[in-house]
Every structure is written in C-alpha cells, then in structure tokens.
C-alpha cells in the first residue's frame, strides 16, 4: 500500500471504531445495571474478544509481548479513563462529564509534543479550536455549574484519556495487548459488584453488545489504526464518539437534541472532516 492509502484505511478504521464506541450511551441507558459492574462485565468480554482477534491476526508465530512501564501505564490509563468517567457521570450531569472529558485534545496536543516528539500542526490547533466550542454548544442546554467535585473528576478523566491515547500511540505495536490488560484491570475492580445485579435477558444482551461491539471489536479497529496516525489525529477523529452518542440515544431512547446541539454538532463534524481531509492529502510520512 502507498502511504496515502494506508493512512486513509487507518482513518476509516478509527472512524468506524469511534462510531462503535459511541454505542455505549444507548446501551447503558437501556440497562438497569449500575455503572461500575456494567463496565466490569463489558471489560471482561472485550478482553476475550481483543485477545482472540490479536491471536488470529498474529498468526502461528504470535507471542504475547513483555510489558514495559509505558505499556502498564497505558493499561492503567485505559482503566482509570473509564472509572473516572463513570464517577463523574454519577456526581455531575452526563453532559458536564462527557464535555469536560473531551478537553482531552488539549492535553493530547501538549503531551504528544513532549512525549512523542509529534509537533502539532496549525490544522490541529484549528480543529481543536472548533471542537471545544462546538461541543459546548452541543451540550448548551444541559451543561451545569452543579456538581463541582464531579466536574473536577471529569477533567481528570480527560487527562487520563489523553495519557491513554499518548501511551497507546507510543506503544502502538502492542496497543491491543495494552487494551486487554486495561480491560482485565477494569473487570477485576468491578467484579465484586456484579453479583448484586439482575441477570435478565435484556441485561445479558446489552452486556454482550457492549463487550463484543462497543468495546471489543471497536478496540481491534482502534489498534489497527493508531500506528499510522498521530496522537492529535486520533483524539480529533475520536470526537465523533460524543457527537454520535446522543444520536443513538435519541433514536432508541427518545431523547432528542435541541437547536444548539444541532449547531454544535455541525461545527464539530466540520472540524473533524477538515482535519481528516487535510491528513489524507498530507499524511505524516514519519509514522509507522
């Protein structure tokens, strides 16, 4: 493959991964499980899905890598991104939680410069400069100053998310294995709370949907994409997730977005498309 075709394939895989990630909101809305055990159950299933996919893609000579410090830190960042986001959602509004978590592009731009030696382009700053206010408009009807502690935890979640993206990018040769380890951590932390939940058919199907599609398959696509994209490209494209999340909720759970939400989503989509088109035309040739 040429650099452009490889890059385009990576972009499309990450878009597909982000679309699958965005299914989390509607699945969680339709489940009556509490957040921590729900995250634990989906993480356990996703660990199996990702591990099986890695084994199949690696072929007969596949070997589980030896984990270094960055890989363990990446797994912990994965785990705490989920835990802090769940905690923030419990302590503040859902809109505050996801909006403040997606301050992550700012931290990724700073972190990628210092830790990955990836110098952000002007188009990166322009994209983030549109995404942040666009998301503010998107959640304008729901953002609140209430829940100060939850808001602070949501910001911490954004920092965790940024570290996850940076560390997975820095160890992209083993990003799938890092995700498996992070999922195992998440599974163990929430395991004691699982047995108090209702194992109805509806809940079982939702957990399978979350584990297989929303996390498992999506992370397989994610790990296939990130070796060929910069950290900033990754987090900008992933902004698709918080925009699509309420779209699925609107379709399947009846929560419709307002006027400002529509305007905000258009701004975010324009920013993402602009960055994607630019990156396809001028891919960063120093990436793997």
pLDDT band at 256 (very low <50, low <70, confident <90, very high): low
Gyration radius of the chain over CA positions: 18
Domain assignment present for 119: yes
Let me know if residue 84 belongs to a domain. Answer: yes
Residue in the structure block whose two tokens are 């560390």: 167
Residue 184 inside a domain? The answer is yes
Residue 286 lies in a domain: no
Q: Kindly state whether residue 140 falls inside one of the protein's structural domains.
A: yes
pLDDT tens-place string over residues 96-155: 777 778 778 888 887 887 777 777 778 878 888 888 888 778 767 666 666 778 888 888
Residue 126 belongs to domain spanning: 3-281
pLDDT digits (tens, 9 = 90+) for 210-244: 999 999 999 999 999 999 888 888 888 888 887 78
- Nearest-angstrom CA–CA distance, 192 and 197: 11
Element (H, E) at 95: helix 94-101
Task: Give the whole-angstrom CA distance, residue 238 versus residue 103.
Answer: 12
Establish if 161 belongs to a structural domain.
yes
Q: Model-level pTM greater than 0.85? A: no
Number of domains in the chain: 1
Q: Is residue 27 part of a domain?
A: yes
Has residue 34 been placed in a domain?
A: yes
């Amino acid at each position: 493959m040429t650099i452009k075709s490889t890059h385009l394939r990576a972009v499309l895989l990450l878009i597909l991964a982000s679309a699958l990630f965005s299914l989390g909101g509607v699945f969680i809305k339709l489940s009556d499980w509490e957040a921590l055990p729900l995250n634990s159950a989906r993480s356990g299933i996703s660990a199996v899905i990702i591990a099986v996919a890695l084994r199949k893609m690696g072929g007969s000579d596949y070997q589980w890598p030896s984990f270094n410090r960055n890989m363990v830190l990446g797994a912990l960042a994965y785990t705490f991104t989920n835990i802090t986001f769940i905690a923030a959602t419990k302590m503040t509004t859902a809109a505050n939680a996801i909006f403040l978590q997606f301050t992550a592009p700012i931290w990724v731009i700073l972190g990628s410069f210092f830790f990955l030696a990836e110098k952000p382009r002007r188009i990166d700053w322009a994209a983030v400069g549109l995404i942040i206010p666009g998301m503010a408009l998107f959640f304008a009807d729901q953002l609140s100053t209430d829940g100060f502690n939850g808001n602070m935890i949501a910001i911490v979640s954004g920092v965790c998310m940024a570290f996850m993206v940076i560390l997975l990018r820095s160890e992209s040769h083993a990003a799938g294995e890092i995700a498996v380890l992070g999922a195992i951590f998440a599974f163990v932390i929430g395991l004691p709370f699982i047995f108090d939940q209702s194992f109805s058919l509806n809940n079982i199907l939702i957990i399978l949907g979350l584990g297989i599609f929303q996390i498992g398959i999506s992370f397989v696509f994610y790990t296939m994409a990130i070796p060929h994209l910069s950290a900033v490209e990754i987090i900008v494209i992933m902004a698709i997730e918080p925009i699509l999340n309420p779209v699925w909720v609107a379709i399947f759970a009846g929560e419709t977005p307002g006027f400002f939400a529509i305007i905000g989503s258009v701004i975010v989509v324009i920013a993402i498309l602009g960055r994607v088109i630019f990156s396809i035309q001028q891919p960063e040739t120093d990436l793997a």
